[in-house]
Copies of this chain bind each other. A is one copy, B any other.
Amino acid sequence: MRNLKVMAAYRGTAYHGFQRQSNAVTVQEVLEKALSKVLNEPITITGCSRTDTGVHANQFCFNVKTSSKINCLGFCRGVNGELPDDVSVLSCEDVPLDFHARFDCKGKEYVYKMHCSESKNPFAADLMLHYRRKFDVEAARKAAQYFVGTHDFSSFCADCTNVSTTVRTIYSFKIEKSGDSVIMLVKGNGFLYNMIRIMVGTLIDVSEKRLAPDDLNRVFYSEEEMLGETAEQS
């Protein structure tokens, strides 16, 4: 038995996220179908993470256990030959049998891109948010620093019913501007369902002055504060 660590990239537009679902086409399903053909055995892969519907990946790690003796270059060529144009494997290497793409993941970096201009960008269709106003990068940068650290992100989650904890650590939150583009680079140990989109939406509220940057200081309560508040209200 071997364990292969594989890096993949995909354009998520046509998929209902990464994770296999019974009633919708997902990236995992497409990858497993291609791998099963090339490795000539039924395949289940372990992804480093789930991604939401429509989210793309530049560097997505998964691992797969196989009894196939195929070499890594042959694996990549064969799998890419079976994959549609919007999914690609980038590299493959043998790793120890106990390597687990999700449990051994040290962190994740999300990139959120905005095209900030009155006119639409014909090249950004499903790759960037089209934001028709001027984005206040300085205010957003100031506000975004409140996201950095370990917090309970339950107010930044669209549906937290399936997670054991809503505490996550954001290592860094950078905002870069280049021409009409604003690029947000967010590193963390994990992200909740829609968490990035809700954080970006909050920064848009800051840019549009519905929130002041320092208002984000009050978004995260410590557990004691929350208990205290509940007590006061009861």
Give A contacts to B, CB under 8 Å: 9-11, 56, 73, 76-77, 80, 85-91, 117-123, 125, 127
Are A125 and B76 in touch, CB under 8 angstroms? no
Are A119 and B85 in touch, CB under 8 angstroms? no
- 18 A–B contact pairs at CB < 8 A? A9-B119, A9-B122, A9-B123, A11-B122, A73-B118, A76-B118, A76-B119, A77-B118, A80-B118, A80-B119, A80-B120, A85-B122, A88-B120, A88-B121, A88-B122, A89-B119, A90-B119, A123-B127
Residue of A90, A91, A121, A122 contacting most chain B CB atoms (<10 Å)? A122
A123 to B76, CA, bound (A): 18
> Which B residues touch A119, using CB under 8 A?
9, 76, 80, 88-91
> Which B residues touch A91, using CB under 8 A?
119
Q: A85-B125, A90-B117 are in contact. List 15 more A-B contacts (CB 8 A).
A: A9-B119, A9-B121, A9-B122, A10-B122, A56-B123, A73-B118, A76-B118, A76-B119, A77-B118, A80-B120, A85-B122, A86-B122, A87-B122, A88-B120, A91-B119
> Which B residues touch A123, using CB under 8 A?
9, 11, 56, 127
